[in-house]
């Protein structure tokens, strides 16, 4: 299991940030960032919040290295991602723009088909229930 310092270093590198740039973004010094990454000391709660904002992750992910990563998508929308889904995203990132569009089209097609199937089942259920009530009322 990795330490919080190791996770901070990994996330910083993943985001292509130098220690100087990360320090600037979280309003700390390069030496603070180095201390966090080398587990010499732990960041304050305020710094943890700043790191989570920079890396777009949950505090659980930073603090505990949870298998499940929670990403903040927009102001009030979060999405939970498990390891399998992260692996899928890694594969997608290896594709070029046109290949990604094809994958997106395939996914959209599957989702539309699923939605149509669910709507068909709902309509069938409504029809059956409607027929039952019409039969009960006339009897």
Per the structure, how many domains does the chain have?
Answer: 2
Q: Quick one: pLDDT band at residue 79, thresholds 50, 70, 90?
A: low
The pLDDT assigned to 14 comes to 86
Q: Taking the model in full, what pTM does it have?
A: 0.51
Residue 49 confidence (pLDDT) above 70: yes
- Give the Cβ contact number of residue 120 at 10 Å: 10
The pLDDT assigned to 118 comes to 85
Print the domain residue range for 114.
95-139
Residue 61 confidence (pLDDT) above 90: no
The domain that contains 20 carries what CATH number?
Answer: 1.10.260.40
As a whole number, the mean pLDDT across the chain is 83
15 with 79, same domain: the answer is yes
Mean pLDDT across 21-36:
96
67 with 86, same domain: the answer is yes
47 with 24, same domain: the answer is yes
Q: What is the percentage of the chain residues whose pLDDT exceeds 70?
A: 76
Residue 91 confidence (pLDDT) above 70: yes
9 with 65, same domain: the answer is yes
For residue 70, the number of C-alpha atoms closer than 13 Å in the C-beta half-sphere is: 12
3-state SS string over 78-132?
Answer: EEEECHHHHHHHHHHHCCCHHHHHHHHHHHHHHHHHHHHHHHHHHHHHHHHHHHH
Mean pLDDT across 4-29:
93
100 with 87, same domain: the answer is no
Residue 71: beta bridge partners? Answer: 79
- 94 versus 130: which is more confidently predicted? 94
Asked whether the beta carbons of 27 and 20 are under 8 A apart, the reply is no
- 113 versus 120: which is more confidently predicted? 113
29 with 53, same domain: the answer is yes
């Amino acid at each position: 299991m990795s330490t919080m310092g190791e996770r901070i270093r990994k996330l910083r590198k993943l985001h292509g940030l130098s220690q100087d740039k990360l320090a600037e973004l979280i309003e700390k010094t390069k030496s603070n960032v180095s201390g966090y990454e080398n587990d010499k000391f732990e960041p304050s709660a305020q710094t943890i919040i700043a790191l989570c904002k920079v890396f777009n992750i949950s505090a659980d992910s930073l603090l505990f290295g949870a298998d499940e990563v929670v990403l903040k998508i927009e102001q009030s929308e979060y999405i939970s991602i498990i390891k399998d889904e992260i692996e899928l995203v890694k594969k997608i990132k290896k594709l070029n723009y046109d290949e990604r569009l094809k994958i997106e089209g395939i996914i959209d097609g599957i989702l539309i088909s699923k939605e149509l199937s669910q709507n068909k089942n709902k309509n069938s259920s409504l029809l059956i229930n409607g027929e039952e009530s019409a039969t009960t009322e006339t009897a």
